[in-house]
Amino acid sequence: MNRAHNFNAGPAALPAEVLEKAKEELLNFEETGMSVMELSHRSKEYDNVHNKAISLLKELLNVPDDYEVILLQGGASLQFSMIPMNFLKSEETANYILTGSWSEKALKEAKILGETKTGASSKETNYDRIPELSEIDVDPKDSYVHLTTNNTIFGTQWPSFEFDWDTPVMADMSSDILCRPIPLEKFSLIYAGAQKNLGPSGVTVVILKKSLLEKIPDDIPTLLRYDTHTKSNSLYHTPPTFGIYMLKNVLEWIQEHGGLEGMEKRNKEKADILYKAIDESDGFYKGHADKDSRSLMNVTFNLPNDELNKLFLNQAKERNMIGLNGHRSVGGCRASIYNAVSIESCKALRDFMVEFQQQHG
């Protein structure tokens, strides 16, 4: 089977084993005589899938008992609005740490709903780094601090979470959730659209502290309130059943591959292969991110000029390497190497980078 080396930024590669399983189960899921998509979301068969996805998330992320895990729709983008709707009170200020276009978009929504400030930003250097903790201005009076743990477009990632702020921290983890273990207890709320590390698009995972739920004002519409979904086990209305089934299968795949420790080891190996190719190219390939802020998930780099960038991308495509074009705000190339992208795909890209430089360097 000719599977592409899929470096798409999202929707992105899914594990072949997960797709095979879905194929096998498609027409007759667990002897129901129908696919998961055709089951009632109130059936016991679907309920098992739903609860398994939630319990695997709890297990893999070591979710403490005082947190809730919910599965929503509307993508990470709806969370940009739901967070301030539910948690930004009129007399308070929400603090946004800007590390890329997605944090800017999150801030834009919060500004519609209330007062905001920017606790730190690396915009001045085209978001090539994560600010140092000492640069970040957090006030215990801020209603919350929002950050983006991995910046999909610029290829930067928070290297660790050493902060100890007395302010609830809310994080967009869309492009690096489950890529490595995280200290979840440092966050009051995390969220992620599924289409990078979790499954197909259409499902959004939100994990939040139960104590936050008491703060939700009465005048928020039902579907946009977090407590609607916590109270109903994410079954207030019809959930994206097939997406959640795929999420469950992806989570099982992660568990079978060593959980988050296993993912981190594999992801570091993959990222090292590509960053080494950049670092050993004598400047032919120029990485966008500062070394200390490099992402395990999105490797961004430029060739010496636009013409070479284009030629590189075209020739890569001929070799079945897909999705390597960089976002227009950085230009050049971006290899998205989410959990499901194989070490072999990274080696194939590395080999091509070396060969291309030999010919054009």
Please tell me the distance from the alpha carbon of residue 256 to that of residue 253, in angstroms, as a whole number: 5
Least Å distance, CB 252 to ligand PMP, is 23
Q: Which two tokens stand for residue 182?
A: 């995280």
Q: Which is nearer to ligand PMP, 39 or 333 (CB)?
A: 333
Least Å distance, CB 87 to ligand PMP, is 18
Which residue type occupies 282? D
Using the rule CB under 6 A, which residue among 43, 55, 77, 315 binds ligand PMP? 77
Q: Which is nearer to ligand PMP, 75 or 240 (CB)?
A: 75
Q: Which helix (H) or strand (E) holds 322?
A: strand 321-322
Residue matched to tokens 């834009």? 108
- Part of the chain binding ligand PMP (CB under 6 A), chosen from 69-77, 250-258, 263-271, 348-356: 69-77
Residue 148 within binding range of ligand PMP, rule CB under 6 A? yes
Least Å distance, CB 280 to ligand PMP, is 29
Q: In this structure, how many other beta carbons lie within 10 angstroms of the beta carbon of residue 256?
A: 11
- Part of the chain binding ligand PMP (CB under 6 A), chosen from 48-56, 167-175, 216-224, 335-343: 167-175
Please tell me the distance from the alpha carbon of residue 20 to that of residue 136, in angstroms, as a whole number: 46
- Bridge partners, 300 (sequence order): 334
> Per the annotation, where are the binding residues for pyridoxal 5'-phosphate?
76-77, 102, 152, 172, 195
Find the DSSP H helices in the chain: 16-25, 44-60, 75-87, 101-113, 226-231, 241-256, 259-279, 306-318, 343-360
Least Å distance, CB 259 to ligand PMP, is 23
Least Å distance, CB 267 to ligand PMP, is 16
Sign of CA dihedral 218, 221, 226, 232: positive
> Is the Cβ–Cβ distance between 226 and 214 less than 8 Å?
no
Using the rule CB under 6 A, which residue among 6, 143, 175, 228 binds ligand PMP? 175
Residue 172 within binding range of ligand PMP, rule CB under 6 A? yes
**Residue 196 bears catalytic tag:** yes
Residue 174 within binding range of ligand PMP, rule CB under 6 A? yes
Residue 81 within binding range of ligand PMP, rule CB under 6 A? no
Q: Which x/- pattern over 29-48 shows residues binding ligand PMP (rule: CB under 6 A)?
A: --------------------
| Catalytic site residue from 128, 142, 172, 227 | 172
CA angle at 92 for the pair 225 and 76, rounded to the nearest 5°: 40
C-alpha distance from residue 282 to each of 227, 278, 353, 358 (Å):
54, 8, 13, 12
Order across the sheet with 286-287: list the strands: 286-287, 298-302, 333-336
- Part of the chain binding ligand PMP (CB under 6 A), chosen from 49-57, 71-79, 119-127, 345-353: 71-79
Please tell me the distance from the alpha carbon of residue 135 to that of residue 120, in angstroms, as a whole number: 7
- Bridge partners, 41 (sequence order): none
| Catalytic site residue from 196, 227, 248, 270 | 196
Which residue type occupies 256? E
Using the rule CB under 6 A, which residue among 96, 102, 158, 312 binds ligand PMP? 102
**Residue 268 bears catalytic tag:** no
Residue 75 within binding range of ligand PMP, rule CB under 6 A? yes
**Residue 292 bears catalytic tag:** no
Residue 152 within binding range of ligand PMP, rule CB under 6 A? yes
Within 221-260, the residues that bind ligand PMP by CB under 6 A are: none
> Is the Cβ–Cβ distance between 289 and 155 less than 8 Å?
yes
How many of the chain's residues bind ligand PMP (CB under 6 A)? Answer: 11
Q: Which is nearer to ligand PMP, 197 or 228 (CB)?
A: 197
Report helix, strand or coil for 88. Answer: coil
Residues marked active site are found at 102, 172, 196
Q: Residues in the site for ligand PMP, rule: CB under 6 A?
A: 10, 75-77, 102, 148, 152, 172, 174-175, 193
